[in-house]
A and B are shown apart, each in its own frame.
Chain A
């Protein structure tokens, strides 16, 4: 008998099977994901999801007896008062499939198949057909391009990378430490021997002694190399991946008092979706959060989504802030710039002209895409100040988009619309 402890064996042996299953059921699962999204809170986007699919594509048919018709025999346990020859009326609507228990034992639980998607599987499906617009055309450049970058020294490498100064410095230190005889020392000794040998009478003992010393020096010079392998130093380079296509996403939001909690919530959801999308899909994307009241400030993510502030509304401040940041940090030559703005449409009327000017003349020329989301409590026909102003721009520029959202259920379709692959074509 053998006892084996298998507990440490690799787990999730069925991962491959699961992937095959998810791939197989993809179409069904995608529908289910869409349904699920409408219901779930966006703050929960990054969680697992219980999915129920109608098992069209994952059905496993086989030849089996139908449940109707024919003559069937059953042997059942637990008889109470039946006697041979008793007739039992069939249950109404039972379809004649025998007694209730028996019919379900035939196995009909194939219709709805419920299981749990992991977070990654969920997000992958969620973002499947979404891409940042216009990034498509730059996709080829999106490849990471590794560039060599100095990263100190190393003890081996190709001769071309030899760091000569370092190597010699180490050699010198070693030679001094090991007391390697210098060339001058040897030459002086040789000269001395020559001088003594030229003298008459020759001082043989002295000469012999000097020769012994010379021999020792020469031997030392031989054993202690001028440059030893341990002295060698090479320049070291790491290949650091450098994205050639970089994108920065500006999230602008009105945080003023005119934005009710509900509206803020809507806007937050839009950005959160956006944020999840960006962090998921593009590794080299910077996200800048700017929120504004009557003044604007760049804030961190936490403050952006959760911070509370009160004040008036001047949209142009946010646009100015964005313009400033672009000029300071994100040169349009190196960065693809995307902007998404959420607002309830309130603005000081005087400010609108300035806004349009900023967007049209400063921001749009450097941006790949500018999306404006207007959140409102009800989808009335009335136009807000900002909507009216921005409409002009939307007519003139194809890469300016605007949408209106009134309830959480509309967020995903809008999002999908804005960033679907087709609109970028």
Chain B
């Protein structure tokens, strides 16, 4: 252990702004200077527990439009918190530029230090460098976009009433997981200024073409903004279908929607897309942050910047964060992303520095390269959970976690153990685990496959059933009602086997009058 050359930055739990500032500088020196992290500018905001609850309920964003579901979430979180059933997170970090870190005033100074190393270094670096975030989110524009969304929803509520706005948002929320485009290309950079202009233009056009006479006609022509000719429409259809992004499809093609409703759908779609990278990188994101905080705290201790007391407090917190109960233990609720991510990254470091023969065999391209941080930075930048596990999960980690692969076939009276952490099983377990982290495999694959815009105007969705797993019928029927509300006409959902194309089940619903 290096000599304690420096005076500790703090001693005891009390904190103040000046101390946080100094500690942050020490952390940044290690993070950027020694570990080579590449960060957005950090903004650290101190908040109270109540404000933390507020932030929880709006999916962690500093601003959010109003909707009852956030109120529901708040009511539940508040209840849990007051009962003491759940403690609050120590921090929330937002993928924005500057990167906003919320830290709680209740935290002790050690925790503030830990939290800054975790969020302001780890998460921040991950947000800025991971390819998914780079490709799908614009960190510098999100806050402005949220401000636009909030204002727009409020304006709509004022203009059209709470009820109609709520109905559209409810429906759009129900389809949030189907509101994501999984392939890049269709992506366009969003620009709040342009959003506003587009919206304004839409409204101006409506006002311009408004003619009192039309209202008096017995059957007013539908106010579709783009009147398409028949050939044109056929062409469009050929172009657009099948479409996996239900929200996008409805926003562009639902026959009866008013402009502002399309805009609301768009807002939900943009948010859904914004959060999509986070859903795909839970293990990596938390692993990266946990790895960074551990590394930084360790180095600070070696430099004598934190006391042994703080280190003990830190070790206690850290152990709780990366705890992984076994599948048959009481607290088990899936694999802990912090634990898995952290273990894998520590292991990468070990493989780089002190590889065993096994590692040399499994990871010939980086075992023993003596550049753990370079290897990790590359992993952080270029992988998501699924590919990260597939590429980097080592036999040692599988053994440490005692992972095994279980198959449950509904038609069989027993479940079978397919593979365990042994020589024959490593690759199978790894493949199965990677698949478990593939969001597009885990979400039901539902696509718009047919839309009859000319005749019956029926919309057909197809659920490509994998492994015989059907949709939850009750939830599906309710969600279909929402689709029908947006589409305006009959909607049918066909569940067909992805492999054989065999039709298994059908759901159909009409919009409520």
* Contact surface of A with B, Cβ cutoff 8 Å: 1-7, 9, 11-14, 16-25, 50, 58-80, 82-90, 96, 98-99, 101-102, 104-105, 113-116
Query: For the complex, what is the distance from the CA of A23 to the CA of B457, rounded to whole Å?
Result: 34
Known: A1-B42, A4-B43, A14-B54. A73 touches B335 (CB 8 A): no
B475 pairs with A62, CB closer than 8 A = yes
Decide if B405 touches A74 in the complex (CB within 8 Å): yes
CB distance from B59 to the nearest CB of A (A): 12
Known: A9-B51, A71-B409. A88 touches B404 (CB 8 A): no
A17 vs B47: C-alpha distance when bound (angstroms): 20
Chain B 154-166, CB within 8 Å of chain A: the 1/0 string? Answer: 0000000010001
Q: Are A105 and B178 in contact (CB under 8 A)?
A: no
User: How many residue pairs between the two chains, A and B, have CB atoms under 8 Å in the bound complex?
Assistant: 274
Please name all residues of chain B whose beta carbon is closer than 8 Å to the beta carbon of A63 when the two chains form the complex.
175, 177-178, 444, 446, 463, 471, 475-476, 479
Q: Is the CB of B472 within 8 A of A67?
A: yes
Q: Is the CB of A11 within 8 A of B41?
A: no
Query: Are A21 and B75 CB-contacts (below 8 A) given A1-B41, A62-B175?
Result: yes
Q: Separation in Å of the A185 CB from the closest CB of chain B?
A: 70
Assess the A12–B50 pair: CB atoms within 8 A: yes
Which of A58, A80, A115 is the one whose CB lies under 8 Å from B78? A115
Known: A60-B69, A61-B478, A90-B415. A17 touches B469 (CB 8 A): no
Cα-based distance from A91 to B334 in the complex (angstroms):
19
CB neighbours (8 Å) of A73 from chain B are 405-408, 418, 432, 435-436
- The reply to whether A74 and B406 form a contact with Cβ atoms under 8 Å apart is yes
Contact A79 B403 (CB under 8 A): yes
A1 nearest CB across to chain B (Å): 5
CB distance A72 to B472 under 8 Å? no
Bitwise interface map of B from 382 to 420 toward A, beta carbon under 8 Å scored 1, else 0: 000000000000000000011111111110011111111
Q: Which of B51, B332, B436 contacts A6 (CB 8 A)?
A: B51
Closest to A61 in B: B478
Q: Given the interface contacts A77-B335, A101-B333, A115-B76, does A7 sit within 8 Å of B44 by beta carbon? A: no
Chain A residues contacting B67 (CB-CB under 8 Å) are: 17, 20
Pull 9 A–B residue pairs with CB atoms less than 8 Å apart, ordered by A.
Answer: A7-B47, A17-B57, A86-B417, A88-B406, A88-B415, A89-B413, A105-B333, A114-B79, A115-B75
Interface residues in chain B, defined as those with a beta carbon under 8 Å from any beta carbon in chain A = 17, 20-21, 24-25, 28, 41-48, 50-51, 53-54, 57-58, 66-72, 74-76, 78-79, 82, 98, 102, 105, 120, 162, 166, 170, 173-178, 324-329, 332-335, 401-410, 413-422, 424-425, 429, 432-433, 435-436, 444, 446, 463, 465, 467-473, 475-476, 478-479, 482
Known interface pairs A73-B432, A84-B418; A79-B50 also in contact (CB < 8 Å):
no
In the complex, what residues of B have CB within 8 A of residue A85's CB?
416-417
Which residue on chain B has the smallest CB distance to residue A97?
B408
**Quick check: A21 and B71 within 8 Å, CB to CB?**
yes
The complex places the Cα of A114 from the Cα of B76 at a distance, in Å, of 7
Knowing A13-B54, A84-B422, the reply to whether A64 touches B78 (Cβ < 8 A) is: no
Contact B468 A3, beta carbon cutoff 8 Å = no
**Contact among B44, B76, B401, B469 for A2, CB-based, below 8 A:** B44
Which of B177, B419, B465 is the one whose CB lies under 8 Å from A84?
B419
Q: How far is the CA of A85 from the CA of B401 in the complex (A)?
A: 20
Q: List the 8 closest pairs (A to B, CB-CB), nearest first.
A: A78-B326, A21-B71, A70-B469, A17-B71, A61-B478, A115-B75, A70-B468, A76-B327
Closest chain B residue to A71 by CB distance? B467
Establish whether residues A17 and B68, one from each chain, have CB atoms under 8 Å apart when the complex forms: yes
Could you tell me if A75 and B432 are in contact, using CB atoms closer than 8 angstroms? yes
Tell whether A18 pairs with B74 under 8 Å between CB atoms, given A7-B46, A64-B472. yes
The answer to whether A101 touches B418, judged by C-beta atoms less than 8 angstroms apart, is: no
Residues in A with CB closer than 8 Å to B178 are 63
Q: How far is the CB of A370 from chain B (nearest CB, A)?
A: 42
| Contact (Cβ within 8 A) A69 B410 | yes
With A63-B177, A101-B332 known as contacts, the answer to whether A77 contacts B417 (CB < 8 A) is no
Complex-state Cα separation, A99 to B436, whole angstroms: 16
Residues from chain A with Cβ under 8 Å of B444 in the complex = 63-65
Task: Name the distance in Å between A56's Cβ and chain B's nearest Cβ.
Answer: 11
Is there contact, CB below 8 Å, between B75 and A116? yes
A77 with B467: CB separation less than 8 A = no
**Which residue on chain B has the smallest CB distance to residue A24?**
B68
A-chain residues with CB within 8 Å of residue B28 when the two chains form the complex: 1
Query: How long is the Cα–Cα vector from A14 to B67 in the complex, in angstroms?
Result: 9
- Are B471 and A66 in touch, CB under 8 angstroms? yes
Contact present for A14 and B57 (CB under 8 Å): yes
Given A78-B326, A86-B416, A88-B417: A113 and B475 within 8 A (CB)?
no
Report the separation of the CA atoms of residues A336 and B432 in the bound assembly, to the nearest whole angstrom. Answer: 78
A87 touches B79 (CB 8 A): no
B164 to chain A, nearest CB (A): 13
Q: A11-B50, A59-B478 are in contact. List 16 more A-B contacts (CB 8 A).
A: A1-B25, A3-B46, A7-B105, A12-B54, A16-B66, A20-B166, A62-B475, A73-B405, A76-B335, A77-B325, A78-B401, A78-B402, A80-B326, A87-B417, A88-B414, A101-B328
A397 to chain B, nearest CB (A): 44
Shortest CB-to-CB span from A14 to chain B, Å, is 5
B402 / chain A contacts, CB cutoff of 8 Å? 77-80
Check B177–A79 contact: CB distance below 8 A: no
Contacts of B416 in A (CB 8 A): 85-88
Contact of B420 among A62, A64, A82 (CB under 8 A): A82
Which residues of chain A have C-beta atoms less than 8 A from B410's C-beta?
68-71, 96
Name B478's closest neighbour in chain A (CB-CB): A61
A12 vs B71: C-alpha distance when bound (angstroms): 11
Q: Are B47 and A84 touching (Cβ within 8 A)?
A: no
B416 CB to closest chain A CB (Å) equals: 5
- Are A84's CB and B401's CB within 8 A? no
A5 surroundings in chain B (CB, below 8 A): 17, 45-46
A18 near B21 with CB under 8 A, answer no
CB-based contact A61/B66 at 8 Å: no
The answer to whether A71 and B476 touch across the interface, beta carbons within 8 angstroms, is no
A73-B407, A79-B420, A105-B334 are contacts. A113–B72 as well, Cβ < 8 Å? yes
Query: Are B75 and A78 neighbours in the complex by a CB distance under 8 Å?
Result: no
Asked if A3 and B403 make an inter-chain contact with CB atoms under 8 angstroms apart, the answer reads: no
A96: chain B residues at CB < 8 Å are 408, 410
Residues of A within 8 Å of B42, CB to CB, are 1-2
Once A4-B45, A84-B417, A88-B415 are accepted as A-B contacts, the answer to whether A14 and B71 lie under 8 Å apart by CB is: yes
Which of A69, A77, A87 makes the CB contact (< 8 A) with B469?
A: A69
In the assembled complex, the CB of A10 is this many whole angstroms from the nearest CB of chain B, namely 9
Q: How far is the CB of A60 from chain B (nearest CB, A)?
A: 6
B78 proximity list for chain A (CB < 8 A): 115-116
Contact A7 B48 (CB under 8 A): yes
Q: Which residues of B contact A76 (CB under 8 A)?
A: 327, 335, 403-404, 406
Q: A421 CA to B380 CA in the complex, in Å?
A: 66
Chain B contacts for A78, CB-based, 8 A: 324-329, 332, 401-402
- In the complex, A4→B173 CA distance in Å? 33
**Which B residue sits closest to A86, measured CB to CB?**
B417
A300-B431 Cα distance, complex, nearest whole Å: 79
Which residues of chain B have C-beta atoms less than 8 A from A80's C-beta? Answer: 326, 328, 402
Instruction: State whether B403 touches A14 (Cβ < 8 A).
Output: no
Could you tell me the distance in whole angstroms from the C-beta of A12 to the nearest C-beta in chain B? 7
Tell me, in angstroms, the Cα distance from A76 to B404 when the chains sit together.
6
| Residue contact A77 to B478, C-beta cutoff 8 Å | no
Complex: A136 Cα to B178 Cα, angstroms: 51
Most buried by B among A24, A61, A68, A83: A61
The closest CB in chain B to the CB of A109 belongs to B76
Which residue of chain B is the closest to A116 with respect to CB atoms?
B79
Please give the distance in Å from A100's CB to the nearest CB on chain B: 9
